[in-house]
Structure 1
């Protein structure tokens, strides 16, 4: 490690030499890291039997859990690293050797393994591996597009059906959400549509944008963007934002009442001119959930039809058992009529006040699963019809005598943890199962024994593979200690505790409940959810389908 004083004594030439050295060392270390990942994957997957390969938690998922915890990666990111490592280990040994010397940057390696994904012929693999090992050292200075083209030249030469760029544009259609540069409170939408679909959506959004009166403060572009949100809310009209009560387009904004979206905030937005005196609606230390709910939907509930929203059982219950969370009476309040609004979020930029004084103040809200909603946008949601539910204090959530948690208990646990509590996992809590850390009935239905886990990590904990599995211990503050089959220990903390350090998350330890031992049942694997096809069968079919389409596109109809 070079400190600032040592670096300050280096000449300009020596600084560049040091930079090049550490860049090569970084690539070399990345290659070593991927080699370790490849070995982990091989141990879990290479000799996997047919029974294990059909389980929901197969060898790949077992390896992914170990890698994601060790590297602090999400499940998808860990799988991506595993695919790269596997390709280098199995098909591109010469490229891997050049990578290990530090001659190829990691970003080029990722591109190489992605572009060569569809190659199936071993002779083609050997030829392309040799070609890329010699040429890829010059790819680092190329743009991503040029790098892809340089790689595709060799694939086109030795295995034309495997070139990914030869797919028809229609097969590339997709809608994507989010960009790393998105400002808080907004999300970029980008993608590709069929031309006919794009024309339909454009016409509809434009028509909806013109359906409000001329006094609406929003620009045409802002109204079109809001119209897309209105479509997502299941309506074909846009609510006018003018102040005229006689306007035929005014009324409750359907976007604020059509779906359930949870936002966690410590205090509600306040008018900037009122300071801190008008905070009667909520004490400073009290958390609130702003819930955007359907007009006639009633209390919070979770459906079990989606794999991420159900509550699959702990070890003592069959995985296919339905789970409907109880919905006891719950008190919600609609957004107050005097809720502050910031007019600066609508209209042209030149309409903003010269001094930039905010109209609304307050801390931001957090969307379950990620995303920050600044106070002005939170105030807009409340003013246009969102409901406000005050979370129950954890000490008021006592042990329940039944398996399924009540609405208030489920809401508290999800907003306390915000995400899956497995190391490195970022699946939103409202797309997770609520798991009894100590399985029911030995473990109580209590906030100190409940935590969100995504379906994969819930199954991973519930059905240990081989001689052992992952164990999870939940602590009174909501944190978890995970122990891997290898003995490695990982600690996870509720995300709300990190975002709001003064939030109350400590709960008393629930008393043990009488009942049969959760380990009394034998042969856990007979209840493990099974795949219709193995992971490798699905991957092979996808590659073969893409190769066939690439081959057929150059043939005259009817193919």
Structure 2
């Protein structure tokens, strides 16, 4: 990994010179970060400063324009780009003295990240100036402390000059919330936590306990496991669920039968070929092809099926399309999407490309990147998950209609796996399915379709970002500034043996005969969606609400304290 470094030159440095060089490199890193944030701040200023009220109420406002440019240039998803933009704004407009320290390499980018977050609730300019001065006077010492000590040091000045602006715990600041997933979750499981109203908590607890009581006494699961199974089953089946599937193993048990959770999962299969002797890479195969003697068992992917409908509009992203579910790929496989049942969706029916019951399937990958271990995948298949192969390229010609078929929709989403915009990681099943060259000039064909999240769909339609499809599934984007970016499909990285080479259809000449042939990209679909409140108004409201909670908490703390003597 160090082939490009001057290793002989580094080896020739004395211990003192080596540490000095390391210190200088650390300071240079901070200076580069300062320049990067200064550039981001200028991008924001050009798009947002002086923005009129009409433009600020549009969904694609100045911030969205700047966010797209920053996200593509820095290869960030929209959330990460917004975070970098908030830091840049704080350094440019709120904390100039602290920004100067960063530019001199005195503090690190990590320290700046913490400082800008801990001061984001401060509204009074005078208080902010005092805090900036105090931070700048001592910031040189902060970098030597732990992050906890740093937060305490910054909070000390915020508490002194604007106590209502002290950032409390995010979790404690929210009245009601539910969060899913943690970076330390092992494969195959995901943690969740939250806070409900006490009455809602009791209702949910009673419902889960009642379902847990429906299994027989020989079920091996503990109480907590049964309640977890009941909660998952409610999500899959809904309130009509009357009992859990018992795992006692007795076929005569009244609760034996298929697990309803598995029935809410659809799996797309893709044959997993291993390289033969003398081959450098796996051979490309057809999606869904049956296994051969020199191949691995067909791998599968799994996904929940009871999801809300995902819109698939061309220039009016609010129009819904067929339902789409979180699909899963495997180490060699594609995933799921239950818009319409495939030819064979019986729970236990063997399907071409599906793993034989006696074989161990490969692990699966959900479209959002979550890993499904092989043993869990096998349990899903045995429990009644639908298994079906993906359509082959040859079986996906251009379709004579605007809305793509279920098979075409599945192929396009499984190929891309995420939003097709540079840097965006939103799962494809949560995206619009867009005609890259608008219909009807652009055909409903795998070479002209790509998933785009709502934000980037609107940017493509209204903000001048132009996509061009490539035969290998890559989308080539041209920004309004003329810069170009490429977004490769996720399947090309995870499943290089899968043949996703797709011919690009020509632009069609369209002659409108009557209203049924009307171009769906006409003026009726060109209205930019607007928001009730501007982005700045939303942010001001959130800050106001959090400051009010802080003020209430402080008042309660003072009222509960012992009187002075």
Q: One fold, TM greater than 0.5? A: yes
Structure 1 spans left out of the alignment, 5+ residues: 269-278, 295-301, 343-358
| Structure-2 residue corresponding to 1:118 | 121
CA–CA separation in structure 2 for the residues paired with 1:172 and 1:11? 57
CA–CA separation in structure 2 for the residues paired with 1:236 and 1:548? 44
| Structure-1 residue corresponding to 2:457 | 458
Instruction: Note if 1:332 corresponds to 2:344.
Output: yes
CA–CA separation in structure 1 for the residues paired with 2:521 and 2:227? 57
Q: Which range moved further: 541-550 or 122-131?
A: 541-550
1:551: Cα distance to partner?
A: 2.3
1:418-477 CA-partner distances (Å, limit 9, x unpaired): 10010000011000001101100100001110000001101101113xxxx211101122
When normalised by structure 1's length, the TM-score is: 0.82
The number of equivalent residue pairs is 513
Cα distance change on mapping 1:289 and 1:516 into 2, 3 Å: farther
1:209-260 CA-partner distances (Å, limit 9, x unpaired): 56434544445554443333223223464322232101222221121123x5
Cα distance change on mapping 1:132 and 1:265 into 2, 3 Å: farther
| Structure-1 residue corresponding to 2:51 | 48
Q: Is the 8 A contact 2:416 2:428 kept in 1?
A: yes
CA–CA separation in structure 2 for the residues paired with 1:522 and 1:280? 41
Match of 1:250 among 234, 252, 256: 256
Cα distance change on mapping 1:395 and 1:89 into 2, 3 Å: same
| Structure-1 residue corresponding to 2:313 | 312
| Structure-1 residue corresponding to 2:509 | 514
1:336: Cα distance to partner?
A: 3.3
Q: What are the residue-to-residue correspondences of 1:312-461 with 2, within 5 Å?
A: 312-314=313-315, 318-324=316-322, 330-336=342-348, 361-461=360-460
Q: Which range moved further: 200-209 or 7-16?
A: 200-209
Cα distance change on mapping 1:162 and 1:7 into 2, 3 Å: same
Q: Is the 8 A contact 1:72 1:423 kept in 2?
A: yes
SS at match of 2:143: helix
Instruction: Note if 1:108 corresponds to 2:118.
Output: no
CA–CA separation in structure 2 for the residues paired with 1:399 and 1:436? 12
Q: Is the 8 A contact 1:230 1:236 kept in 2?
A: no
Q: Which range moved further: 74-83 or 17-26?
A: 17-26
| Structure-1 residue corresponding to 2:281 | none
CA–CA separation in structure 2 for the residues paired with 1:236 and 1:133? 62
Q: Is the 8 A contact 1:444 1:513 kept in 2?
A: yes
CA–CA separation in structure 2 for the residues paired with 1:167 and 1:496? 36
| Structure-1 residue corresponding to 2:130 | 127
Cα distance change on mapping 1:408 and 1:288 into 2, 3 Å: farther
Instruction: Note if 1:238 corresponds to 2:244.
Output: yes
| Structure-1 residue corresponding to 2:562 | none
Cα distance change on mapping 1:247 and 1:256 into 2, 3 Å: same
Q: Is the 8 A contact 1:441 1:516 kept in 2?
A: no
Q: What are the residue-to-residue correspondences of 1:30-41 with 2, within 5 Å?
A: 30-41=33-44
CA–CA separation in structure 1 for the residues paired with 2:520 and 2:224? 62
CA–CA separation in structure 1 for the residues paired with 2:422 and 2:216? 51
CA–CA separation in structure 2 for the residues paired with 1:243 and 1:167? 45
| Structure-1 residue corresponding to 2:90 | 87
| Structure-2 residue corresponding to 1:472 | 467
When normalised by structure 2's length, the TM-score is: 0.81
SS at match of 1:69: helix
Q: Is the 8 A contact 1:35 1:89 kept in 2?
A: yes
SS at match of 2:403: coil
1:70: Cα distance to partner?
A: 0.7
CA–CA separation in structure 2 for the residues paired with 1:9 and 1:223? 64
| Structure-1 residue corresponding to 2:531 | 531
1:306-349 CA-partner distances (Å, limit 9, x unpaired): xxx211223xxx4554444796662133443899999xxxxxxx
Instruction: Note if 1:483 corresponds to 2:489.
Output: no
SS at match of 2:311: coil
Cα distance change on mapping 1:513 and 1:328 into 2, 3 Å: farther
CA–CA separation in structure 2 for the residues paired with 1:280 and 1:89? 57
CA–CA separation in structure 1 for the residues paired with 2:521 and 2:396? 31
SS at match of 1:246: coil
CA–CA separation in structure 2 for the residues paired with 1:16 and 1:395? 61
CA–CA separation in structure 2 for the residues paired with 1:167 and 1:397? 48
Q: Is the 8 A contact 1:463 1:525 kept in 2?
A: no
CA–CA separation in structure 2 for the residues paired with 1:177 and 1:11? 50
SS at match of 1:165: coil
Cα distance change on mapping 1:263 and 1:202 into 2, 3 Å: farther
CA–CA separation in structure 1 for the residues paired with 2:126 and 2:149? 26
CA–CA separation in structure 2 for the residues paired with 1:189 and 1:9? 52
SS at match of 2:456: helix
CA–CA separation in structure 1 for the residues paired with 2:63 and 2:242? 45
Match of 2:497 among 496, 502, 525: 502
Q: Is the 8 A contact 1:265 1:365 kept in 2?
A: no
CA–CA separation in structure 2 for the residues paired with 1:434 and 1:169? 38
